[in-house]
Structures are given as structure tokens and as C-alpha cells.
Structure 1
Amino acid sequence: MSGAGFASHASNVLKGNRVLLKRRKYKDIKELVYETAGKTQVEFKHIGSEELQRIKEIIREQHRLQVRFELQLYGLCLLLAIGLVYFLVWFFYL
């Protein structure tokens, strides 16, 4: 199997994108970019300190649970690795 199938699919997608771009007029693109974009600065939503504290607590709890899960996963992998080594040593040397 060769990678030619993927390459032909990619070239077909590029051709289709070029066709779609040619359908747009430069005037429409200029208007879309310069005039309808409007603001150039980002506005962030302002929240109170109580809401911010609640969000921080949620993030900390999620992080604590994620770290706990990762440690359990590492422990399980370590036990499996030790078990595999023990089995291989027992199987080949006895």
C-alpha cells in the first residue's frame, strides 16, 4: 500500500479550496476583514472576587483529582511491570 491515496485526497481538497476562494470578490474580503471586524482589543468578562474564589476552588479540586488518578495509574503500571519481570524471571530460570 502506498501513500498515493492520501496525496490525491489532499490535492483534491486544495483544489476545492482554491475554487471556493476564487468565488469571493476582493471587495467582499476587504470589507469582511477591515470593516466588519470592528474591535481590535479583547474584552474580558469581569467577575466578582467571590465568583473568582469559587472558580479557583473548582480548578484546584479538579487538579487534585487528576493528580490522584495519575498516581494511581503510575502505581498500577509499576505493579504490572514488577509482576511481568517476576513472571519472566520465574518462567525462564526455574
Structure 2
Amino acid sequence: MSSAGTIAAAITSLRENRALLKKRKFKDLKTLLYETSEKTELEFKEVSAQELFRIKMEIRRKAKRAARIETAIYIVCTILTLSFFYWLFYL
């Protein structure tokens, strides 16, 4: 019966944890969150129209390149899959 103390400790721990959970209320958490978090204003860099246009074009160029690479990968995978099925069924 050496495990009786271990079981009693586990039961006590569970009881204490349950009591702690019952004390926690949503309103308390909400007020705690609002009190500790301060509202901050975001400051963004001012960018000229030309620089903004350049950034947009760079993003669009990268998106087109990524789309082309993705399409190429799909085509290669389709060709490999079809050639595998051709080899499997006809050779």
C-alpha cells in the first residue's frame, strides 16, 4: 500500500486546481486585459507615389513568377503521373 500517499496527493492537487478554476471569471480576465494593455497608435512610414508604385510592381512581378512556377510544377507532376499510368497499364 505504498501508493496510497501518491493517490491522496493527486486527489488533493486535483481539488486545489478545480478550486482555482472556479475562482477565475470572464469579467475578471476582461478587466485585467483592458487594464494591462494600453492602446498604441501605429505610425506608418510616409511613402511617395513613385515608391509606392515601384513596391506594387515588385509584388505583382513576384506573384506572377510564383504563379508560373506553380503552373510548371503542376504540369510536370501531371506528365509524370500520366506517364506512370501509361507504363503501368500498357507496357
**Would you call these one fold, judging by a TM-score over 0.5?**
yes
- Cα shift readout 1:42-94 (whole Å, capped 9, x = no counterpart): 11111000000000110011011000000000000000000011011024xxx
Runs of 4+ aligned residues of structure 1 deviating over 4 Å after TM superposition are none
Q: How do 1:65-84 and structure 2 match up within 5 A?
A: 65-84=65-84
- Residue 88 (1) aligns with residue 88 (2): yes
Q: How do 1:33-48 and structure 2 match up within 5 A?
A: 40-48=40-48
Aligned residues: 56
Cα distance in 2 for partners of 1:68, 1:40 equals 41
Question: Which structure: larger Rg?
Answer: 2
- Cα shift readout 1:21-42 (whole Å, capped 9, x = no counterpart): xxxxxxxxxxxxx7xxx87111
Q: TM-score, normalised by structure 2?
A: 0.56
Q: TM-score, normalised by structure 1?
A: 0.54
- Equivalent position of 1:13 in the other structure: none
Q: Percent identity?
A: 35
- Equivalent position of 1:63 in the other structure: 63
- Structure 2 unaligned segments of length 5 or more: list them: 1-35
CA-based RMSD of the aligned residues comes to 1.7
